[in-house]
Amino acid sequence: MKKHLQFPKGFYWGAASASYQVEGNIYNTDWAYEARTSKRVPEADSGPDHFNRYEEDFTIAKSLGHNAHRISIEWARIEPHKGEFNIEAVRHYERVIKSLHKKNIEPFITLWHFTLPQWLYEEGGMESKRFPEYFARYASFVADHLGDSCSHWSTINEPNVVASNGFIRGNWPPLKKGRPFLMIKVLNNLAKAHIAAYKVIKKKDLISEVSIVKDNIYISSNNNPVNIISAFFFRYFWNHFFLRKIINHIDSIGLNYYFHKKFGDTTVYKKSDMGWDMFPEGIYHALVELKQYNVPVFVSEAGIADELDVYRSDYIRGLVYWIHQAISDGVDVRGYLYWSLTDNFEWALGYTKRFGLIEINYETKERTVRDSAYTLKKIAETNTLEVLTNEAL
């Protein structure tokens, strides 16, 4: 017996990407600087060359039934030198957004997805007292030029991830290890930056929605009291510390879901190519937890690195099933954007991990649609997930 799980009318289906990971040939960022100098992060070269091939990529997205797509703007392209804004770079993004609109694909735009202009990095980057002011000035410039053509804006992608990798794990710029107090200081600075950008954008009255893209984890525990307490503190710090600072300045929340953590759990899960557990059900709990903020939510990223494309289709179905469950339980979820449309630069791991619905041949730049992309296509085109009544997702 089959069940047909229907999604709300107008639900957004699509994929996400980020400028530094897909555009190629960006050399004036903190990442590019460290790749050249300390060599402690990999170099991003022409990569998928999405900068020149966005038309081809969006045509494929359209053919896959997508009606939404998330991109980010590269701050280093827009403001290559302090206070100097590059109008040609803005024109490029104007063309990109136009191309999406022409295909009836709704753009979701993130202003800052991990990479900083090199001049700002040299001035202290996320630690700089002036970071919020610089970010708001950049946001204001972008909103002046692109504000009319997009109604879904996000300020910062994954504040906790960028701060913890930069200041605890120390494997991302600024490559500082084991500095928890600095991480907290940086999170406070990023919250100020978000609020400052939110205010300048809203003041222009052009834009209907400004969100944060948050990296929440489904955190739970077994009955051991130590584990219960650990889960409580970890959940508060990772999922809610940042959100509570900015709650009066968000119109929606983008959820990026990749992880679950159950304290005291010894279950062995199937792993993706990243070595991450496959546990799609976690997205349900992460979504339900966001209900307390009383704003609409969209899944701004959730996906899997799976080079051989053996698990991706089931994983997508699992995620979609659990998103539907969350909607049935009253969470106002507006869309699901798979991470990612194409294979791309996976930060500290370079080009080695393959998240794409579309495979990239990095030599020839040839695009090949993976089979699993058709699973999402069917769901998107029918706005429905078909499941067998006894199917375990």
Q: Which one of 80-88, 157-165, 186-194, 329-337 is the stretch in contact with ligand BGC (CB under 6 A)?
A: 157-165
State the minimum distance, in angstroms, from the CB of residue 342 to ligand BGC: 12
Q: How far apart are CA 262 and CA 281, in angstroms?
A: 13
Q: Which is nearer to ligand BGC, 161 or 253 (CB)?
A: 161
Q: What angle do helix axes 131-146 and 87-102 make, rounded to 10 degrees? A: 50
Q: Which is nearer to ligand BGC, 156 or 193 (CB)?
A: 156
Place of tokens 């499941």: 387
State the minimum distance, in angstroms, from the CB of residue 276 to ligand BGC: 8
Tokens of 80: 């290559």
State the minimum distance, in angstroms, from the CB of residue 337 to ligand BGC: 11
Within residues 324-353, the interface with ligand BGC by CB under 6 A covers: 339, 346
State the minimum distance, in angstroms, from the CB of residue 339 to ligand BGC: 6
110 — phi, psi (to 5°)? -105, 135
Q: What angle do helix axes 282-290 and 312-328 make, rounded to 10 degrees? A: 30
Binding string, residues 200-239; x marks residues near ligand BGC by CB under 6 A: ----------------------------------------
- DSSP code at position 349: G
Q: Which one of 46-54, 118-126, 154-162, 242-250 is the stretch in contact with ligand BGC (CB under 6 A)?
A: 154-162
Of 34, 301, 314, 343, the one binding ligand BGC (CB under 6 A) is 301
Q: Which is nearer to ligand BGC, 174 or 303 (CB)?
A: 303
Q: Which is nearer to ligand BGC, 18 or 297 (CB)?
A: 18
Of 23, 57, 158, 209, the one binding ligand BGC (CB under 6 A) is 158
Within residues 16-55, the interface with ligand BGC by CB under 6 A covers: 18, 21
Q: How far apart are CA 346 and CA 171, in angstroms?
A: 13
Peptide linkage before 340 cis (omega within 30 of 0): yes
Q: Which one of 138-146, 153-161, 263-271, 385-393 is the stretch in contact with ligand BGC (CB under 6 A)?
A: 153-161
**Measured CA angle at 320 (ends 317, 326), to 5 deg:** 145
Q: 3-class SS at 6?
A: strand
Tokens of 67: 């009606």
Place of tokens 């708001």: 136
Q: Which one of 61-69, 156-164, 263-271, 306-314 is the stretch in contact with ligand BGC (CB under 6 A)?
A: 156-164
Within residues 237-256, the interface with ligand BGC by CB under 6 A covers: 256
State the minimum distance, in angstroms, from the CB of residue 269 to ligand BGC: 17
State the minimum distance, in angstroms, from the CB of residue 300 to ligand BGC: 8
Q: How far apart are CA 211 and CA 214, in angstroms?
A: 9
**Measured CA angle at 157 (ends 201, 379), to 5 deg:** 100
State the minimum distance, in angstroms, from the CB of residue 301 to ligand BGC: 6
State the minimum distance, in angstroms, from the CB of residue 261 to ligand BGC: 15
Q: How far apart are CA 14 and CA 50, in angstroms?
A: 17
Size of the site for ligand BGC (CB under 6 A): 10
Tokens of 50: 């999405």
Of 157, 189, 342, 375, the one binding ligand BGC (CB under 6 A) is 157
Q: Which is nearer to ligand BGC, 106 or 158 (CB)?
A: 158
How many of the other CB atoms lie within 10 Å of CB of 220? Answer: 17
Counting runs of H as helices and runs of E as strands, what totals does the chain give?
A: 14, 14
Q: How far apart are CA 74 and CA 293, in angstroms?
A: 29
Q: How far apart are CA 260 and CA 279, in angstroms?
A: 7
Q: How far is CA 340 from the centre of its chain?
A: 9
State the minimum distance, in angstroms, from the CB of residue 144 to ligand BGC: 26
Within residues 161-190, the interface with ligand BGC by CB under 6 A covers: 161
List interacting residues with ligand BGC (CB under 6 A).
Answer: 18, 21, 157-158, 161, 256, 258, 301, 339, 346
